[in-house]
């Protein structure tokens, strides 16, 4: 997979002063453009890895209640953007499928926010992800990746996904750097406004 002649051949080293890793996750159905978006904005060639988790369980339809173990494996890809001398933003592209959420707490706790990438022809693919993000209390925006001329307005998308009015919903083209960058800027602006609002609220 990553055939390398030398371990020190790390693609692009971080600056010496890098000290603060930040996480943003892009979730969405298969083929919606997650990897494409990571690639568009990352300063390194996107990398991929996996996490596995073994859960002990008791078979419910097993009369003898024998312990068995299930191993969940989730693959994800990621890229990186150095923001300043200290901060490095890691951008994860992750499938929104069910088993992935078993690993959310282990992998993605501390994530600042999420981009839910949707294909309007397959909106139903994102319902589960939206539900889980709400459950985990992770702030998110919705970005529609347009493969073809969109058939619906963004307001119709908001309605179809039953999104609260404050959640940003935007169009994007995951293949272009500017558009993908705009998605991240929109998320960052939203997170900033949420934080500023709650900071004001807590000092009153």
Ligand X SMILES: Nc1nc2c(ncn2[C@@H]2O[C@H](COP(=O)(O)OP(=O)(O)O)[C@@H](O)[C@H]2O)c(=O)[nH]1
Can you tell me the distance from the alpha carbon of 6 to that of 70, in angstroms, rounded to the nearest whole number?
35
Give yes or no for residue 39 binding Mg ion (CB under 5 A): no
- C-alpha of 107 from chain center: 11
54 token code pair: 């073994």
Among 41, 130, 142, 174, binds ligand X (CB under 6 A): 174
Instruction: Pull the structure tokens for residue 170.
Output: 């935007």
Q: For another protein, which is the closer residue by CB, 91 or 157?
A: 91
Q: Which stretch binds ligand X (CB under 6 A): 30-38, 52-60, 108-116, 186-194?
A: 30-38
Residue 145 contacts ligand X per CB under 6 A? yes
DSSP bridge partners of 21: 88
Distance CA 29, CA 41 (A): 20
Instruction: Find the length of the chain.
Output: 204
Site string for another protein, 70-109 (x = CB under 8 A): ---x-xxxx-xx-xx--xxxx---------------xxx-
3-state secondary structure of 128: helix
Of 17-25, 58-66, 119-127, 148-156, which part binds another protein (CB under 8 A)? 17-25
**Which residues of the shown chain bind ligand X in the complex (CB under 6 A)?**
28, 30-36, 93, 145-147, 173-175
């Amino acid at each position: 997979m990553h055939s390398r002649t030398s371990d020190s051949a790390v693609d692009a080293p971080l600056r010496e002063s890098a000290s603060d890793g930040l996480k943003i996750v892009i979730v969405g159905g298969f083929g919606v453009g997650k990897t494409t978006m990571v690639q568009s904005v990352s300063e390194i060639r996107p990398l991929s890895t996996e996490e596995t988790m073994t859960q002990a369980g008791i078979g419910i339809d097993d009369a003898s209640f024998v312990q068995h173990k299930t191993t969940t494996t989730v693959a994800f890809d990621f890229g990186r953007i150095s923001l300043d001398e200290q901060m490095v933003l890691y951008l994860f592209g992750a499938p929104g499928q069910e088993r992935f959420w078993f690993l959310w707490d282990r992998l993605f706790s501390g994530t600042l926010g999420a981009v839910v990438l949707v294909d309007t022809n397959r909106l139903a693919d994102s319902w589960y992800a939206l539900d889980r993000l709400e459950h985990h209390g992770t702030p998110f925006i919705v970005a529609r990746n347009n493969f073809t001329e969109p058939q619906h307005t963004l307001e119709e998308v908001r309605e179809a996904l039953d999104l609260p009015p404050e959640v940003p919903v935007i169009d994007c083209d995951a293949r272009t750097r500017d558009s993908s960058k705009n998605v991240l800027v929109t998320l960052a602006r939203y997170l900033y406004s949420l934080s500023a609002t709650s900071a004001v609220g807590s000092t009153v």
